């Protein structure tokens, strides 16, 4: 295994950095650096997607025939690292990073021709309809029904924790089309238009005060049979394929940027008569976190090397999800510790939240108590609590590793 970058790869990385720095204006960079969760300000995210699309870089991970790039695994990694290091806002993943892959893999030619170009431009914006009030990690327990009626399915039920449902005009859902046989056998993967009678979106106010997530209710809503991805009753297979893209990814570059920023912030924060970074207990915890990021990066590079040889990542995406999300949580804990008492104030106007904060009125003069990073720290802390739950809880990921990697 060779973990050294070749001269060609180094040149590629420099080219990507130059393009990103050129396109990333101060407002977009501000949205990326001040984001309170993995979901940035929606308008900024879409503006950044438009810029990347114009440069042919919005979806380099897609198949070439649908607008992707014929890059090596190493080039994809270097591109993502350049984006993280530049402080670019992330793109909403549900369409461009998730459902697009299953449309490309399982969709009909008509579905590919309609949805994929419109996902790239942002004309079609997806949210994800998996979890239900009584079906979270045990996703096969879902009950939202889809009953055939002519060329349509009639939909009844609800989905919950639906990120960006208030902005989306389509939702990809797992629905129950049969109650016979194994629970997984009666599930279908269906694309549903949001802008229709019978679809109601109700915001959920999170601990951070933001309304990024929602509950979506379906009361005799409809979707065409032509919107089934794959085959009726085979949605579980499609969903498992999609989850590999939701759980995988390169975490280490973004975590390193955050850890370096925290080190700078701790150098200005005071702990009595000295800087917090000089307090041995805090310095040790931050150094340990940075070491774990180093370990995660090496593991990502090992997987990258395997992928470059055509080997399947498989269950190891679960390992990346566990390590990445738990390290992110740990960094927010350290940031909150560094923020001190100032970090207890609720000041979302210092940040760029991923959605509206109902009932909050920012000071007219925009005053922030303490430094901006101290005001952002508690919001990130509260948002990161979800990291070990979404995309399948980390307990489920450990079960997957125990079964498929350790053979237990």
Which pLDDT tens digit goes with each residue over 50-63? 999 999 999 998 98
**118 falls within a domain:** no
Give yes or no: residues 62 and 164 share one domain.
no
Grouping H, G, I as helix, E, B as strand and the rest as coil, residue 159 is strand
Chain centroid to CA 1: how far? Answer: 29
Domain around 79:
7-91
- Region 347-353: mean pLDDT is 93
The domain boundary residue, chosen from 223, 242, 261? 242
Give yes or no: residues 235 and 275 share one domain.
no
123 C-beta neighbours (distance < 10 Å), count: 10
Give yes or no: residues 276 and 310 share one domain.
yes
Give yes or no: residues 397 and 253 share one domain.
yes
Give yes or no: residues 33 and 175 share one domain.
no
Provide, rounded to the nearest whole percent, the portion of the chain with pLDDT above 90: 71
Rounded Cα distance between 405 and 319, Å, is 10
Rounded Cα distance between 142 and 218, Å, is 14
> In the prediction, which pLDDT does 214 show?
96
Give yes or no: residues 400 and 261 share one domain.
yes
**205 falls within a domain:** yes
Backbone angles phi, psi at 248, to 5 degrees: -80, -165
Give yes or no: residues 234 and 274 share one domain.
no
Instruction: Return the C-alpha torsion angle 351, 354, 356, 359, nearest 10.
Output: -50
User: Binning pLDDT at 50, 70 and 90, where does residue 121 land?
Assistant: very high
**115 falls within a domain:** no
- Region 186-199: mean pLDDT is 97
Copy the structure tokens of residue 331: 């960094």
User: Binning pLDDT at 50, 70 and 90, where does residue 72 land?
Assistant: confident
Chain centroid to CA 133: how far? Answer: 21
Q: What is the CA radius of gyration of the chain?
A: 22
Q: pTM of the full predicted structure?
A: 0.88
Which pLDDT tens digit goes with each residue over 271-300? 888 999 999 999 999 999 999 999 998 888
**Of 132, 167, 210, 246, which is the active-site residue?**
246
Average pLDDT, the chain: 91
**102 falls within a domain:** no
**111 falls within a domain:** no
The domain boundary residue, chosen from 216, 242, 268? 242
- The answer to whether 277 and 267 have CB atoms below 8 angstroms apart is yes
Which pLDDT tens digit goes with each residue over 85-109? 999 999 988 999 999 999 999 999 9
- Of residues 96, 118, 128, 90, the one with CA closest to residue 352: 90
> In the prediction, which pLDDT does 364 show?
94
The domain boundary residue, chosen from 226, 242, 258? 242
User: Binning pLDDT at 50, 70 and 90, where does residue 222 land?
Assistant: very high
Rounded Cα distance between 28 and 24, Å, is 6
Grouping H, G, I as helix, E, B as strand and the rest as coil, residue 270 is strand
- Total structural domains in the chain? 3
**177 falls within a domain:** yes
Give yes or no: residues 396 and 264 share one domain.
yes
- Of residues 159, 163, 22, the one with CA closest to residue 91: 163
Residue matched to tokens 């396109």: 23
Whether 246 shows a pLDDT value over 80: the answer reads no
Give yes or no: residues 276 and 396 share one domain.
yes
Angle (CA) 255-261-263 rounded to 5° is: 105
**371 falls within a domain:** yes
Which pLDDT tens digit goes with each residue over 357-403? 999 999 999 999 999 999 999 999 999 998 898 877 899 889 989 99
> In the prediction, which pLDDT does 39 show?
85
Listed in order, strand segments (DSSP E) in 241-346 are 270-271, 274-275
- Region 150-154: mean pLDDT is 97
Copy the structure tokens of residue 73: 């695994």
- Of residues 138, 137, 155, the one with CA closest to residue 146: 155
**46 falls within a domain:** yes
- Of residues 366, 368, 373, 386, the one with CA closest to residue 340: 373
Residue 369 is classified by DSSP as S
> In the prediction, which pLDDT does 308 show?
60
Whether 231 shows a pLDDT value over 70: the answer reads yes
> In the prediction, which pLDDT does 2 show?
59
Rounded Cα distance between 153 and 255, Å, is 43
Q: Which CATH number goes with the domain that contains 342?
A: 1.20.140.10
User: Binning pLDDT at 50, 70 and 90, where does residue 242 land?
Assistant: confident
Give yes or no: residues 264 and 341 share one domain.
yes
Per the annotation, the verdict on 246 as an active-site residue is yes
- Region 41-48: mean pLDDT is 95
Q: Which CATH number goes with the domain that contains 231?
A: 2.40.110.10
> In the prediction, which pLDDT does 122 show?
95
Give yes or no: residues 232 and 306 share one domain.
no
User: Binning pLDDT at 50, 70 and 90, where does residue 136 land?
Assistant: confident
Give yes or no: residues 226 and 258 share one domain.
no
């Amino acid at each position: 295994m060779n973990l050294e970058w070749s001269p060609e790869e180094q040149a590629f990385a420099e080219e990507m950095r130059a393009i990103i720095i050129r396109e990333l204006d101060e407002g977009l960079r501000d949205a990326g650096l001040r984001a309170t969760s993995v979901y940035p300000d929606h308008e900024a995210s879409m503006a950044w997607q438009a810029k990347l699309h114009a440069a042919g870089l919005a979806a380099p991970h897609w198949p070439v025939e649908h607008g992707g790039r014929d890059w090596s695994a190493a080039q994809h990694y270097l591109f993502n690292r350049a984006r993280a290091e530049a402080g670019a806002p992330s793109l909403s993943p549900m369409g461009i990073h998730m459902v697009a892959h299953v449309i490309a893999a399982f969709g009909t030619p008509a579905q590919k021709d309609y949805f994929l170009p419109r996902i790239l431009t942002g004309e079609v914006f997806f949210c994800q309809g998996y979890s239900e009030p009584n079906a979270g990690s045990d996703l096969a327990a879902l009950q939202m029904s889809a009953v055939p009626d002519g060329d349509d399915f009639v939909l009844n039920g609800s989905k919950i924790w639906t990120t960006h449902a208030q902005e989306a005009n389509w939702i990809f859902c797992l629905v129950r089309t049969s109650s016979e046989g194994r629970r997984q056998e009666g599930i279908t993967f269906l694309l549903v238009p949001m802008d229709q009678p019978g679809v109601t979106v109700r915001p959920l106010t999170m601990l951070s005060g933001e309304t990024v997530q929602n509950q979506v209710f379906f009361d005799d809503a409809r979707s065409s049979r032509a919107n089934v991805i794959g085959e009726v009753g085979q949605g579980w297979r499609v969903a498992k394929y999609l989850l590999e893209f939701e759980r995988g990814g390169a975490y280490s570059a973004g975590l390193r940027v955050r850890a370096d920023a925290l080190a700078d912030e701790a150098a200005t924060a005071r702990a009595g008569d000295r800087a917090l970074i000089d307090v041995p207990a805090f310095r040790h915890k931050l150094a340990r976190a940075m070491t774990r990021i180093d370990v995660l990066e090496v593991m990502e590079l090992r997987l990258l090397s395997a992928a470059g040889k055509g080997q399947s990542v498989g269950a190891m995406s679960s390992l990346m999800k566990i390590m990445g999300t738990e390290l992110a949580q740990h960094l927010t804990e350290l940031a909150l510790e560094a923020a001190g008492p100032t970090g207890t104030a609720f000041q979302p106007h210092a940040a760029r939240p991923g959605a509206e904060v109902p009932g909050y009125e920012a000071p007219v003069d925009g005053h922030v108590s303490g430094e901006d990073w101290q005001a952002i720290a508690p919001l990130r802390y509260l948002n990161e609590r979800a990291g070990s739950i979404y995309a399948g809880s980390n307990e489920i990921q450990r079960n997957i590793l125990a079964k498929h990697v350790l053979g237990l």
